[in-house]
Chain A
Amino acid sequence: QAGLTQPPSVSKGLRQTATLTCTGNSNNVGNQGAVWLQQRQGLPPKLLSYRNNNRPSGISERFSASRSGNTASLTITGLQFEDEADYYCAAWDSSLSGWVFGGGTKATVL
């Protein structure tokens, strides 16, 4: 099952802004949007954004999600060292009747 496409890595300086992308197709991202997850080393994933782009309770406003066509984006403003993590997107694929994940983007704060 084909997955979503994410760049493998992004590196930005402290307090800068990083934008992570997630590209799918009209059956998944373009259909119902994507969720965004953060996974720090050794921990389970944590939801950063629902697929309607709303943040769960307790998630910093520095994380914002959006979508344009078949591409979802996660913008992290004011990068902090604690933001160093792997970031994954996932979307329900109506043609596959299953969830598809991106390969993940490793974020490094310089």
Chain B
Amino acid sequence: EVHLLESGGGLIQPGGSLRLSCAVSGFTFSDYAMIWVRQAPGQGLQWVSVISGNGDNPYYTDSVKGRCTVSRDNFQNTVYLQMNSLRVDDTGVYYCAKGGSPERPDDAFDFWGQGTTVTVSS
């Protein structure tokens, strides 16, 4: 059974930093890209970042470029999102989701975690 469990959220002041984690089990982690998606309160889903299975190809949405770094540990089956210079508009629930693989590129978003809440406020 596939499980994704995010952690690391919390209340942080503007300008601060957080590292989100997403621990994964139930599939061959290193084969699949991993995706971060966030949802501001009362708003829709917004893609944040994606990292390939081997970690070589990270991509970011424009609003977090230069402030966030995605990484993964394929021995610990965990993906991370390091968030720096946090802003009020970074507030929201952050989800990790399973991506596709080179062999199964269409398998994106088939499993999600429960999310972790980030609140940026003074």
Contact = CB atoms under 8 A, between A and B. Distances in A.
B114 interface: yes
A13 to B, nearest CB: 26
- Contact-size category for B: 20 to 34
B106 A51 contact: yes
A37 interface: yes
A51 B60 CA distance: 21
Interface in B31-52: 35, 37, 44-47, 50
A90 B60 contact: no
Contact of B35 (A39, A54, A99, A104): A99
A58 B98 CA distance: 17
Given A99-B50, A100-B47, A101-B45, A1 B106 contact: no
A107 interface: no
28 contacts: A1-B62, A35-B108, A37-B109, A39-B45, A44-B95, A44-B112, A44-B113, A44-B115, A45-B37, A45-B45, A45-B109, A47-B110, A47-B111, A50-B107, A50-B108, A50-B110, A56-B110, A90-B47, A92-B108, A99-B37, A99-B47, A99-B108, A100-B47, A101-B44, A101-B45, A101-B47, A104-B44, A104-B45
Interface of B: 35, 37, 44-47, 50, 59-62, 95, 97, 106-115
Interface of A: 1, 35, 37, 39, 44-47, 50-52, 54, 56, 86, 88, 90, 92, 97-104
